[in-house]
Structure 1
Amino acid sequence: MRDKIVIYQKPTCSKCRATLSLLKESGEEFESINYYETPLTIDKLRELVQKLNLPVRDLLRKDEPSAGNLGAASDDEIIKAMVENPDLIQRPIVVRGSKARLCRPPENVMELLK
């Protein structure tokens, strides 16, 4: 049995909606988590960063106004800020087992469907 797919997303995000469409078209079962309704914890966000295998700063939406204050921040400070303000998190994030992908572009989800 294959690992369950989980997508962390914001319903109003166009990339999230496109990724959800690709998941639905795949026929794979998945769980969708709106992290605005079910907030991420610091530990969960750290786990996602580890599975993404990306630097924390690559998960930060640098265009958000409140991101400007994080220029010299540590990884822990950035993670705390992202948990407190989910608009700072790049999205969507799709997880399958020990792997995760930032689905920007949405087609990145295909790497988890193989």
Structure 2
Amino acid sequence: MSLSDRYKVPSNPGFSRILSKPDLKLNKGNYLVVGKENSMKIPRLGVSVKKSDYKLATHRNMLKRKVKNSFMGFIEDLPAIDFIVMIGPGEQSNDKKTLHELWSSIGVKNNV
């Protein structure tokens, strides 16, 4: 199942707003998460993967799918923040565990 449009950060205006002054910044493995509170009362997600880091589109899409699927598992636990996950070079074999720890720590940090 794919991520509903309701839970997606709009590309250009949303990313610019979040990256200019983030309220949250967290780095875990090759994932960097930045976030900014929103007025939508729901968490939203944007994923960024550089073409220079991952040449094949299928590889980039697979990484985005992993992040989106893990995010969907934590939607109920996350605060109303617009998140952008930037994936750096060097995919790890324990991506699923890293993402689980990432979303868990965000929920705990924000007293959810």
Q: Which has the higher strand share?
A: 2
Q: How high is the TM-score relative to the length of structure 1?
A: 0.29
Q: How high is the TM-score relative to the length of structure 2?
A: 0.29
